[in-house]
């Protein structure tokens, strides 16, 4: 793989992880990211199982541990806010939980000197031929690469261009939700509050910044197209789902309208018959997202990136490498996707 020119689309978790491993084997790696700069948003992420081995191999496990949120657990409350139970921190945090921005910053730092990053651009078109892939960028002209890897999330641009429309790959699990932050008016200190009823859930927590409250408003819905709607339509859907509810909900809905970090997402899984086509392959959520309800998205991205890099390093035949990578990872992904479906079904029920 020495001197192999690889383009990776996506600079979140799977992309930089793969870039690091590929650089070690002598590849010339470029990472293109649609966002104008490193993304600084997202909930906390957690790590489970072999993901710890990946962090150790990257040489960042101790640094990542230093960012641990230190969550002490979540209190279950009823519609009036009265406590009805408690969940340990491990219920949400796995073996280790850190703010997502901490992880993406670390992964970028360890690759920035060795990998070419192109922010504020995206792949517009690809022409594949026997010896490479000619990539036309939206802003950066045309370049040729030996391999192209899509690590660009559930709504992967690479997957759309090579494997077909999003609707052919996505399986909506019947849940959507809004997330944002606001002032920590309940005064939470590395703890969370969770209320669930009638197919809707309010989850609040404060961890890294004691003055900020992170809010998640989730609800059952059969409308997966909400992801592609504008913010006004998404807020309308949230307000409709939580209309008439008491406790802190009215105040949270008011805060939602003022939030400058509002984001909306549906719980979707990605299902494909194959994760590669010619010189193009997918890794992480782009190829086999298990949905947030699985609790395995970040770990799966790290483990998938390592598996792909190892297979590419073992042979000069990218076709054999892609096939071996998929064969190795499919059982693990199937297990995680089953967990995602089961958790979503329990929520909806």
What is the per-residue pLDDT across 308-324, written as a single tens digit (0 to 9) for each? 999 999 999 999 999 99
pLDDT number for residue 124:
98
Mean pLDDT of the chain: 93
Half-sphere exposure of 164 (CA within 13 A, CB side): 10
pTM of the predicted model as reported, rounded to 2 decimal places: 0.93
Nearest residue to 347 (alpha-carbon basis) of 278, 294, 275, 288: 294
| Lowest mean pLDDT across 24-33, 34-43, 149-158, 207-216 | 34-43
C-alpha to C-alpha distance for 41 and 262, rounded to whole angstroms: 10
Structure tokens, 164: 């077909």
Q: What is the pLDDT of residue 349?
A: 45
Contact between residue 26 and residue 168 where contact means Cβ atoms under 8 Å apart: no
d(CA 171, CA 268): 5
Residue 95: per-residue pLDDT: 79
Report the range of poorest mean pLDDT among 34-43, 104-113, 204-213: 34-43
Rg (CA), the chain: 20
Identify which has the larger pLDDT, 43 or 335: 335
- First-last CA distance in the chain: 49
CATH topology for 5-169+269-348 is FAD/NAD(P)-binding domain (3.50.50)
Smallest CA-to-CA distance from 176 within 113, 95, 233, 126 is with 233
């Amino acid at each position: 793989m020495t001197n192999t020119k690889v383009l990776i689309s996506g600079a979140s978790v799977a992309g930089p992880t793969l870039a690091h491993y590929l650089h070690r084997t002598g590849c010339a790696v470029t990472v293109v990211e649609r966002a104008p700069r490193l993304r600084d948003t997202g909930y906390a992420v957690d790590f489970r199982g072999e993901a710890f081995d990946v962090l150790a191999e990257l040489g960042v496990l101790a640094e990542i541990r230093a960012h641990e949120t230190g969550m002490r657990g979540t209190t279950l409350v009823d519609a009036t806010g009265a406590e009805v139970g408690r969940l340990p921190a491990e219920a949400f945090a796995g073996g280790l939980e850190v703010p997502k921005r901490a992880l993406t910053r670390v992964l970028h730092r360890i690759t920035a000197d060795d990998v070419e990053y192109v922010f504020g651009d995206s792949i517009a078109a690809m022409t594949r031929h026997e010896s490479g892939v000619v990539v036309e960028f939206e802003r950066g002209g045309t370049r040729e690469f030996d391999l192209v890897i899509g690590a660009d999330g559930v709504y992967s641009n690479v997957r759309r261009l090579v494997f077909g429309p999003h609707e052919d790959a996505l399986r909506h699990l019947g849940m959507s939700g809004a997330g944002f932050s606001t002032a920590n008016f309940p005064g939470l200190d590395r703890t969370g509050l969770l209320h669930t009823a009638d197919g809707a859930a309010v989850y609040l927590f404060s961890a890294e910044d004691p003055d900020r409250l992170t809010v998640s408003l989730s609800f059952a819905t059969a409308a997966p197209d909400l992801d592609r709607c504008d913010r006004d339509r998404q807020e309308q859907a949230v307000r409709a789902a939580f209309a008439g509810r008491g406790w802190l909900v009215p105040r949270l809905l008011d805060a939602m309208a003022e939030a400058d970090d509002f984001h909306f997402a549906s719980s979707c899984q990605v299902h494909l018959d194959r994760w590669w086509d010619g010189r193009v392959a997918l890794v992480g959520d782009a190829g086999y997202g298990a949905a947030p309800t699985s609790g395995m998205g970040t770990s799966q991205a790290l483990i998938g990136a390592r598996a792909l890099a190892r297979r590419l390093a073992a042979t000069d035949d990218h076709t054999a490498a892609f096939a071996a990578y998929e064969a190795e990872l499919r059982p693990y992904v199937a297990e995680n996707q089953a967990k995602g479906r089961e958790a979503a079904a329990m929520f909806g029920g």
